[in-house]
Amino acid sequence: MSSGTPRRADALRNRQLALDAATALLAEPGTPLTVENIARRAGLGAATVVRTFGGKDALLDAAVSDLLAPVVQRARDLLAETAPGQALGLFLGELIAFQATHHSVSDHVEGLNMPATAALRGDLARVMEEMVERAQRDGAVRTDIDPAVATGLIGRTALAIARAQPRSRQLVDAYLTVLLQGLRPPA
Amino acid sequence: MSSGTPRRADALRNRQLALDAATALLAEPGTPLTVENIARRAGLGAATVVRTFGGKDALLDAAVSDLLAPVVQRARDLLAETAPGQALGLFLGELIAFQATHHSVSDHVEGLNMPATAALRGDLARVMEEMVERAQRDGAVRTDIDPAVATGLIGRTALAIARAQPRSRQLVDAYLTVLLQGLRPPA
Amino acid sequence: MSSGTPRRADALRNRQLALDAATALLAEPGTPLTVENIARRAGLGAATVVRTFGGKDALLDAAVSDLLAPVVQRARDLLAETAPGQALGLFLGELIAFQATHHSVSDHVEGLNMPATAALRGDLARVMEEMVERAQRDGAVRTDIDPAVATGLIGRTALAIARAQPRSRQLVDAYLTVLLQGLRPPA
Amino acid sequence: MSSGTPRRADALRNRQLALDAATALLAEPGTPLTVENIARRAGLGAATVVRTFGGKDALLDAAVSDLLAPVVQRARDLLAETAPGQALGLFLGELIAFQATHHSVSDHVEGLNMPATAALRGDLARVMEEMVERAQRDGAVRTDIDPAVATGLIGRTALAIARAQPRSRQLVDAYLTVLLQGLRPPA
DNA sequence: AATGAATGAGGGTTCATTCAT
DNA sequence: GATGAATGAACCCTCATTCAT
């Protein structure tokens, strides 16, 4: 087919091609997320994709966790460098912006029971809880909500907003405004 | 068998049996939502179920819209009978409570592109927009958000909270508290 | 395709067609024992065969146990009606004759870990042990071999002879002669 | 890498590595007998294994015949050096002991239609026929069975006993006792 | 009109073999 | 010459839909 396709040392590149294809398809709710479709998109054979990752779930695990890892890292950085009250708002905005670029990934962040994704999901939850807790101690967030509950609330609603299709700037802004005001300690 | 029974009545009864079975299965994430399972649950043949509705999507359209219709009606009633500021809060609570009883229905409210469901989705959006608009005129909701945008925001986040699994009373309460406070005009 | 193929009441007949096809293929080591081949031979679709039995293993379980059941029953009858010394010889001859008609079934009698086949395998072993034990008490079989061991010995070698391809009358006769003489108490 | 090493020697060593790996896997019913597994065990690439032999069947042909050849040779030696009546008994014991060490090899001795294995299978049959014939002339084996038929009988049953799983010393002993007594001329 | 049975289409996966490095 | 990677073919299985009863 594509006579220029290289092999050997570029196995890593093919791996990435498959990941990119999976990511692309995760963003196209129209086309079914089948191994065949992923492989076609990557310019590979279906068996190659399966073999490279060891199964469809493992491929999705890799794709989703590759996307999620920098998000978790960013949360950690914000937690370390920024004032608690601001960190939460900043991160929320960035989280939505991130998911805006990787549409239906969110569907798989929840629900995919594979090691890498599950671990990152846990990490993200922990970092966000810490964010909330500090913000509460700082007086920036109301204390009548348990940090774990607040984290669930924030994560789920942010996901929903990010998943909106079409997603408008207005919607995201409104969400951030409402959520952050709603989280403030009542007057 | 029951040669004296009027056929028309049987057909209607079967239709309802299938709808009830589909509704029941929509609430049981454990069992796959296949035509066969729906038919077995309804005590009917698989062919009958398909034939009665003309396809699985049509059946789901009927089931989902049957569930959604009273919700829309309730919204209309609240709009007519209750003070704008209260209506929104009341309805939001009821909407989540409803979805809590019909777990995965929400997944199909979005995403199912069939006439009845799409129409009700539109109806619901319009009623909620009207709710928001009136609440804004009443000074109960901040006016810096477009009613259509606010409706999208409310609908999507409510859906996400309702879909949470496990769903805790704490989460729902926190959501209502935060969202309603966040929607109030800023001090 | 075959316009004369009947349906409804003959579902049982189709079941039998599939079983017969499986049995036939079990006897043709040349053609692979795939669901597709079984279905083609039976004049059915592959999905039908799978659906009817619930999986390939279940089909083989049914085929093998259907063939094995009368053999076990015959052993029970002989045990009840015939003198111990004769019963063993008679049964052995019939066992081989049976397997001669159902060639490679034997491969699956061993090795197929499915309920019906496993149960019959156990039943057959028990009946044969009882046969050997009685023949030993009767002085017709040497007593320096444990009945369970003798049963294993007889079963496995009979299987092997039955599996022979081509199988000659001479071979079977020689086997019976040698085995029965070998089992007699030493002079 | 090892630029000084003569290629021919490497090739021969790889050939033996692959054969050893195949032999090892033939004895481990747990792990599937795939080219990949053989190659991994040999510390070689899958392509190398295939390329060295020209296909999986050719590899198995080589492995099986390598295992079978000494057995045939041993039969020839016994034929030349030992009294006919004893030779048969001795060889039978050794044959089973051999197969006991190379479990599933037996499955491939039969059924593998490749030149080397087929040839050795024929050789073995001929040597055993000669053994039987001489034993018959010596009065050690009954003469009412054709030597070719007796050979088939012995070979097949011995295989079956060797294949038994679990294989017990009791079973093997019982088999040898029964078969050898059964082969003696009737009193 | 109702339905159990049949099935074509499609899904994920495995494996012997081929190819480009 | 050796090999990791790639792949076409084949396997078993599921399911919405159609068909004959």
Q: How confident is the model at residue B6 (pLDDT cuts 50, 70, 90)?
A: low
- D178 lies within 8 A of chain C by CB: yes
Give C-chain residues touching D156 at CB under 8 angstroms: 157, 160-161, 163-164
Residues 27-46 of B with CB under 8 A from A: none
What pLDDT sits at residue D162?
80
pLDDT exceeds 80 at position B88: yes
CB D42 within 8 A of CB D20: yes
Residue B112's pLDDT band, with cuts at 50, 70 and 90, is confident
pLDDT of residue A175: 95
Q: pLDDT by residue (tens digit) across B172-182?
A: 999 999 999 99
DSSP 8-state secondary structure symbol assigned to residue B110? T
D and C interact (at least 3 Cβ pairs within 8 A):
yes
Instruction: Encode pLDDT of D45-74 as tens digits.
Output: 999 999 999 999 999 999 999 988 999 999
Share of chain A above pLDDT 90, in %: 65
Q: For residue A58, give the nucleotide whose C1' atom is nearest its CA.
A: E12
**Over the Cα atoms of chain C, what is R_g?**
19
Within chain A, strands assigned E span none
Separation in Å, CA of C182 to nearest CA in chain D: 4
Spatial distance from the CA of A38 to the C1' of F1 (Å): 35
Closest alpha carbon to D180 in D94, D85, D79? D85
* B149/A168 CB distance under 8 A: yes
Q: What is the DSSP string of chain D?
A: --TTS-HHHHHHHHHHHHHHHHHHHHT-TTS---HHHHHHHHTS-HHHHHHHHTSHHHHHHHHHHHHHHHHHHHHHHHHHHS-HHHHHHHHHHHHHHHHHHSTTHHHHHTT---HHHHHHHHHHHHHHHHHHHHHHHTTSS-SSS-HHHHHHHHHHHHHHHHH-SS--HHHHHHHHHHHHHHHSPP-
User: Which CA distances in Å does D152 have to B185, C76, C156, D147, D181?
Assistant: 97, 31, 15, 9, 17
A84: helix, coil or strand? helix
Task: For strand E, list residues 25-54 of chain B whose Cβ lies within 7 Å of it.
Answer: 39, 44-48, 51-52
pLDDT tens string A78-112: 999 999 889 999 999 888 887 777 767 777 887 78
A187/B144 Cβ within 8 A: no
Q: How far is the CA of D5 from the C1' of F8 (A)?
A: 38
Q: Flag if C187 and D182 touch (Cβ within 8 Å).
A: no
pLDDT in tens, D106-117: 778 877 889 999
Cβ–Cβ of D156/C161 closer than 8 Å? yes
Q: Which nucleotides of E are covered by protein (CB under 7 A)?
A: 1-21
Closest-CA residue to A107 (of B23, B121, B34, B163) = B163
Least Cα distance to B22 among B4, B40, B10, B45 occurs for B40
Per the structure, the residues numbered 6 to 45 in protein chain D that have their CB within 7 angstroms of any atom of strand F are 7, 10-11, 14, 39, 44-45
In this complex, which of C146, C163, C175 lies closest to D153 when CB atoms are compared?
A: C175
CA distance D85 to D56: 40
Q: What is the pLDDT of residue C35?
A: 96
Q: Which of D175, D137, D130, D173 is nearest to D156 (CA)?
A: D175
Best B144, B151, B153, B183 member to test A by mutation, with max A CBs in 10 Å, is B153
Pair B93, B146: CB distance under 8 Å: no
Cβ(B105)–Cβ(B60) below 8 Å: no
Q: Which residue is nearest to nucleotide E21 (CA to C1')?
A: A8
- pTM of the entire structure? 0.87
Mean pLDDT over each residue of chain B, to the nearest integer: 89
Euclidean distance between CA atoms B164 and B176, whole angstroms: 14
Contacts of B71 (CB under 8 A, 6+ apart): B94, B95, B98, B124
C151 CB-contact burial (10 Å; exposed 0-12 / middle 13-18 / buried 19+) = buried
Instruction: Flag whether residue A11 sits within 8 Å of chain B, measured between CB atoms.
Output: no
Output B95 or A132, whichever has higher pLDDT. A132
| Number of neighbours of residue A134 by Cβ within 10 angstroms | 18
Terminal-to-terminal C-alpha distance of chain C: 67
C170 and D146 within 8 Å at the Cβ level: the answer is: yes
Question: What torsion, rounded to 10 degrees, do the Cα atoms B116, B122, B128, B133 define?
Answer: -150
